[in-house]
Structure 1
Amino acid sequence: MEAIRKPVRRSKWRLLLGTAYYRSRRYLEWFFGSVRFAKKKGKELLPHRISQHQTPMLRQLKDVDMWLQHNKITNLKIAMERLQGVTIMPGETFSYWRLIGKPNRRKGYVEGMVLFYGGFKPGVGGGLCQLSNLIYWITLHTPLEVTERHRHSYDVFPDANRTQPFGSGATCAYNYLDLRIRNNTTEPYQLVLGIENGHLTGEWRTTKPALHHYEIYEKEHRISQHYWGGYERYNSIFRKVFNQDGELVSDEFITENRALMMYQPFLESGT
């Protein structure tokens, strides 16, 4: 993968035309493509939890007004209703945006924080990346296959109590930056979401106990400066797969990340 080039600011009209083009392509694929999308919802929980995780709903971010964070919770609740209980049957594909639909005011969405060219701005439906990040992370701890995931191009905020490797999320933008997950197993997988004690929670459930457990880790985490002055952050994500006896079955490459840092890194002398 090539190193990040110096960002070029696109005009408003180019952004609008480009967005319209890519959205149109995605609509055509939705309705005329060959992918069999998951849409069934199960009200009763499947018996076995395979993976789970939670993330705090409110975070104090530099220069970000807290009303954007509180509005994000409103947006997350609306989107969660569209995803709650969705079950991916064998051979089906989960599509984040096909299930949620376009966020707009008519559906109750409000302005939340939207990342834009390395910064942020208010935008209707803002904050839904927290949900796609969570779903991506819990999926990495299952045998489900991620068939589409987009990394964040900018590293906007410094790490604050990070518990996961850098680049272990999935950015989203309606509808052309999607998160897609295919079920290549012989069992259905059910997505269960919730809000508990100020945290967004998510889990995958299925009909049989887990045969493996997973450990996600990073390699080659580094920060480098480009000739034009910008700093790039890089790493690669791997996954160890263990059987029920705790024996290592495989060590898999998952993805690699490159992001332009929007804050000054703290480099040690000689680094």
Structure 2
Amino acid sequence: MFQTVAKPKRRSALRLALGAWWYRMRRYGRWAASSRAFARTMRSEPLSYVAFEHRTPLYRKLKDVDMWLQHNKVVNLSLALPRLNGIVVMPGETFSYWRLIGKPTKRKGYVPGMVLSSGSFRAGIGGGLCQLSNLIYWMALHTPLQVTERHRHSYDVFPDVSRTQPFGSGATCYYNYIDLQIRNPTSEPYQLKVWMEDGYLCGEWRSASRRGVRYRVYEKEHRIRMEPWGGYTRSNSIWRQTMDEAGTVLHDEWITDNHAIMMYEPMLTEGKTEAGTNGK
């Protein structure tokens, strides 16, 4: 699992732009040719039961990040949320983050927000929407829904600040080829509700009936290590336990592995080995 991570390569702005264009066109082609049923039904009335709910703060103090970027993020979220709030994923259908939101453009009212790029951050139109994809992914892991496409961050840009979730439990997004897709393999519909309230981004996955199980998402083998080229990397694996209402573990499954290049100096104590901090 914890393989050596290669030193990142610096690519020119032209190559990055051409690469983004190529992958974007390829995604458009796949959308056009796909026989997959994508979720499109919106319903304002909530389904009966909350399968899982979560919220994350809209404003965080991050090193060297101006607060105007976070204020603009809220503007961008306010435009994206109505495209997702109330979407119903019927049995056999797939939720696609970008097919529902569409391309965030200046013409639609999106403004420059924080975009993570090549181990740093910059201002970009529509920046900040990753907070929404992170929330949706984290909530989906606590339901029977099946995540069929998710992309992890390649860089760990900021140190943990009041982290309440395991490292690597989010889903990055970039229109349109870095998507978040979630399939409903069950026999009943699931509904996504997302909104902002009292300084938080809030969300729920709702269902038509109670399933009688709950989920615990946790990490194993969290490690920080120095690579041969001199940088630090951070790795872990995400696992999920399915439990009945009495708390008996019915199933324990691997979800994903995470590997990220750290863009800050880790706080390593003297004599710490490459095993780093094993667990939280």
- Where does residue 58 of structure 1 map in the other structure? 59
Instruction: Decide which moves more: 9-18 or 103-112.
Output: 9-18
Equivalent-residue separation in structure 1 for 2:254 and 2:100 (angstroms): 28
- Where does residue 275 of structure 2 map in the other structure? none
Deviations 1:10-34 (A, max 9, x none): 1111111111111111101111112
- Where does residue 42 of structure 1 map in the other structure? 43
Equivalent-residue separation in structure 2 for 1:134 and 1:30 (angstroms): 24
- Where does residue 174 of structure 2 map in the other structure? 173
Counterpart AA for 2:184: N
- Where does residue 156 of structure 1 map in the other structure? 157
Counterpart AA for 1:201: C
- Would the aligned equivalents of 1:141 and 1:214 in 2 still touch at CA under 8 Å? yes
- Alignment of 1:114 with 2:85, yes or no, is no
Deviations 1:74-116 (A, max 9, x none): 0011111110100000000000001000000111100000001
Deviations 1:178-219 (A, max 9, x none): 000000000100000111110000000110013210001100
Q: Normalized against structure 1, the TM-score is what?
A: 0.99
Equivalent-residue separation in structure 2 for 1:155 and 1:62 (angstroms): 13
Cα deviation for residue 145 of structure 1 reads 0.2
Equivalent-residue separation in structure 1 for 2:177 and 2:213 (angstroms): 33
- Where does residue 14 of structure 1 map in the other structure? 15
- What are the within-5 Å matches in structure 2 for residues 244-255 of structure 1? 244-255=245-256
- Alignment of 1:139 with 2:140, yes or no, is yes
Counterpart AA for 1:108: G
Instruction: Decide which moves more: 237-246 or 123-132.
Output: 237-246
- Would the aligned equivalents of 1:3 and 1:258 in 2 still touch at CA under 8 Å? no
- Where does residue 204 of structure 1 map in the other structure? 205
- Where does residue 6 of structure 2 map in the other structure? 5
- What are the within-5 Å matches in structure 2 for residues 236-247 of structure 1? 236-247=237-248
Equivalent-residue separation in structure 2 for 1:107 and 1:235 (angstroms): 38
Instruction: Name the SS of the counterpart of 1:210 in structure 2.
Output: coil
Displacement over 3 Å in runs of 4+: none
Cα deviation for residue 35 of structure 1 reads 1.2
Instruction: Name the SS of the counterpart of 1:173 in structure 2.
Output: coil
What is the number of equivalent residue pairs in this alignment?
Answer: 271
- Would the aligned equivalents of 1:89 and 1:187 in 2 still touch at CA under 8 Å? yes
- Where does residue 187 of structure 1 map in the other structure? 188
Cα deviation for residue 6 of structure 1 reads 0.5
Equivalent-residue separation in structure 2 for 1:176 and 1:146 (angstroms): 16
Equivalent-residue separation in structure 2 for 1:27 and 1:134 (angstroms): 25
Equivalent-residue separation in structure 2 for 1:99 and 1:29 (angstroms): 16
- Where does residue 86 of structure 1 map in the other structure? 87
Q: What is the RMSD of the two structures over their aligned residues, measured on CA atoms?
A: 0.8
- Alignment of 1:101 with 2:102, yes or no, is yes
- Alignment of 1:224 with 2:225, yes or no, is yes
- Where does residue 69 of structure 1 map in the other structure? 70
Equivalent-residue separation in structure 2 for 1:84 and 1:234 (angstroms): 33
Equivalent-residue separation in structure 2 for 1:210 and 1:70 (angstroms): 39
Gap runs ≥5 in structure 1 = none
Equivalent-residue separation in structure 1 for 2:137 and 2:168 (angstroms): 11
Equivalent-residue separation in structure 1 for 2:209 and 2:246 (angstroms): 17
Equivalent-residue separation in structure 2 for 1:114 and 1:16 (angstroms): 15
- Where does residue 259 of structure 2 map in the other structure? 258
- Would the aligned equivalents of 1:167 and 1:257 in 2 still touch at CA under 8 Å? yes
- Where does residue 127 of structure 2 map in the other structure? 126
Equivalent-residue separation in structure 2 for 1:103 and 1:97 (angstroms): 9
Identity rate of aligned residues, in percent?
61
Counterpart AA for 1:136: Y
Cα deviation for residue 153 of structure 1 reads 0.3
Counterpart AA for 2:209: K
Equivalent-residue separation in structure 2 for 1:200 and 1:114 (angstroms): 18
